[in-house]
Each structure stands twice: as structure tokens, then as C-alpha cells.
Chain A
């Protein structure tokens, strides 16, 4: 089982690691690169806690092999804040108490950022269907949806 050398870009930084070809991108992020912000809740693409973007496309990193990251641009929760400045979604999640245990939070933030990058004015229904693949067991989603809608409004320059 020989490992494969992978060169990729993660949150703007060039990163190299050796991947067992069976390892998922999530395994490599967590165990090889030390980025444990992406979580494994299911390993089957059903919970969204491992959400990242690969070349701008939102995916479950548990359903991507580490070796597939070669030459790609990977973005994770660790790259969402710019320096010390939180992304408005991150700030709104805190303000709205949109997290309880916080385990699904990184995946939800990455997923909702991908939504707002594509659709700055989603309806509540569009938000709910976009994040249908991000399970949260604590909140009943109410405050999460409100936080995303509020962050979208702020990003559009509307007063909260």
C-alpha cells in the first residue's frame, strides 16, 4: 500500500502530504495536515459536518479521496475568517446563538458561505434546502436559518 505524494492548496497555502490512496480528503485534512475543524459525523455524505470547497464547489470531504486533491484549491473552515476578522456568517452564528454543541457549525458555515457566494439573496426556503445536507441535532435549525438570512442581508449592505 504505497502512499502517494499530494501537492495542493489549502486556504491559500501550498500544502504537501503523503496520502494512503484509501484515505479521504477529510482524513488527510484532519490527520495529515492537522486541520481538525472539518468534522466527521457520518462518513457517508449524509451529515455535511465535513463540508469544504474544492475548486469552488461545495462537497463533503468524506466523499473525496485525499489523492484527488492534487493540484486543487481547497477551502475549509480554518480559512473562513480573514486574519482576525470573522466572516459575517461566523459573527452572525455567534450573535444569533445559532450553535449549541458547535460540532455541525464548521460544515454549516462552509455550506452557507457557498450559498451566499452563489446567491446573495436566498429565500428562507432556499436556505433550508441548500443546508438540508447539514444535519444539526441541537437547534431545530431556527436560529441557524435566521443567522444565515441576517448575514446575507448584511453582506448585501442592508441594515439588520
Chain B
């Protein structure tokens, strides 16, 4: 295995594009090193992105948009009060990944690129309308986060492409987001179901909403019907019932070691209801 430490994303993309064998990018390493140790992935080229200027930056633009560098670890997200104020759901999603120790290394970008349908960092990004900046051998492009996952362990990134940063839109006024996941223990588990809700209010009425579900399909899914169920409402009980039903209806999970299909469908609705209440309270400034 060759270990590379490029100083620009262009250089990183070039190394990856020219590689003949298995290639991995390294930021936090909390997935890559596990796969290497288990012999699941034995890369010939390992490209460490952490020497590239700006990869640890978290920048809030004047218009309120955020740009989060590819190597920013979870612990730094939670320590950024302005980010927590704008996008608490995004931060709490990432902070659920692994232990305190893992939070010292694991990154949002890595969580996305690992391609797990159960990635805790991803649903809130999708609900927030986040995008990623990609550098490839043919230049750069920006696409929505939900267009990255392509199935378990797979992404739509092509050979040589590397994500340089994640962009979050401006929070704006009267907005709130939240992420909840279900795990059997209190920590250290992979989500059996995850649900993010992002909404904006006009007075008490929800005027914009996006609901994303994790671990209930091969990729994170956007549950449009669930969002519609609460649009124009004050999140009354009837709206919550419709939301839960729509979230459950959107879920199309498998049964596996972590939970049955029936359980996941049921709990998708439960989490949607609970996450929506938190997001609503946050939007109200409560």
C-alpha cells in the first residue's frame, strides 16, 4: 500500500484517477481503517486528505451559508456554537456516530462516502438541503447530498472524484431541524431507523418541510408525503398521525441482524413524530 499526502484536491483526484488498483481517501479513517483491519478492503493507494489547506475549516458566509471541510471531525461540529444554533439536527446526527473517541476523528464527508444506508450523519444533511463540492480529474462540480449514496457501500462518485466540502444553506428565520435514530442501546450502535425533519414556520404554521429517513431503504430516502402531511399545519395531533403514517409508508426496509422489517416500518413513524416535535419547538425558538 502506498500512502499519499497531497496538498490539493486536484492532486488527490489525479492520484486517484491514475491508480490502477483499489484506492481510498483518508480523512477521519474510522471506516477505512476498520475495513483495512478486517481485510475487507486492502487499498493499494491510500490518499490522506488532511494536509490539504482548508480541510479542517468550518466557515459561515455572510449570507448564512456554511461550508464544512472534508476533514472536520464530529467533535468540532458540536463545539461550534453558531453551527449548533443554525443546524442542530445536522450536528446531533453526526454526534451520534460512534464514541467520544470516534468523534475525535470521524467526519460528515466520510460518513456520507461510506455509503451506509444507516449513516447517522446523512439524513439531516438531506433534510437540510445540503450539497457537496466535488473535485475530479475533469474539474469540480456541486451536487445535492441525496444524490451521492447509490446503495449499501456505494456512491455515485466516479473514479478519481473526491468530496472537498459540504455546503449547508442559510438557516433563515423561523426554521428548525432535528435528527433521531433508534438503537437498542444508548450509544455505540448503528441506526436501526433514522429520521431527520427540517421545517420552517410562518407564525405557528409550517410553510416548508423536508423529511429524510435512514436505514429503511438501500439509501437515505426523502419522504415527500411525510413532509406534505405537516405542511400548512401547526403540527397538531392529526398532522402528526399523518406524518407517522406517511413515514412508515415511505419505509421499505429489510429484516437483518439489527431489526425486522416490521419493526423498522413502525419505528420510522414513531421517530418522524418525535423528530418533528423537536424541530418544531426549535423553529419556535423554544
Taking the closest CB of chain A, its distance from the CB of B271, in whole angstroms, is: 20
Closest B residue to A61 by CB, please name it.
B101
B36 touches A22 (CB 8 A): yes
Chain A residues 1-40 with CB under 8 Å of chain B are 1, 4, 21-22, 24
Taking the closest CB of chain A, its distance from the CB of B237, in whole angstroms, is: 31
Say which residue of A43, A46, A59, A67 sits within 8 Å of B105 (CB atoms).
Answer: A59
Give the complex CA separation of A133 and B99 in angstroms.
Answer: 5
Query: Which B residues are CB-close (under 8 A) to A114?
Result: 100
B1 touches A48 (CB 8 A): no
Determine whether B55 belongs to the interface, using a CB cutoff of 8 Å to chain A. no
Contacts A21-B46, A22-B1, A65-B29; A59 near B101 (Cβ below 8 A): yes
B105 touches A63 (CB 8 A): yes
Determine whether B257 belongs to the interface, using a CB cutoff of 8 Å to chain A. no
Say which residue of A21, A57, A132 sits within 8 Å of B188 (CB atoms).
Answer: A132
Chain B residues 1-53 with CB under 8 Å of chain A are 1-3, 26, 28-30, 33-34, 36-38, 46, 48, 50
A133 touches B1 (CB 8 A): no
Say which residue of B1, B36, B50, B98 sits within 8 Å of A45 (CB atoms).
Answer: B98
A67 touches B75 (CB 8 A): no
B33 touches A51 (CB 8 A): no
B29 touches A133 (CB 8 A): no
Say which residue of A4, A48, A54, A57 sits within 8 Å of B99 (CB atoms).
Answer: A48
Query: Which B residues are CB-close (under 8 A) to A60?
Result: 99, 101-102, 105
Say which residue of A21, A24, A45 sits within 8 Å of B101 (CB atoms).
Answer: A45
Contacts A/B (CB < 8 Å), 5 sampled:
A21-B46, A57-B105, A58-B100, A63-B30, A64-B105
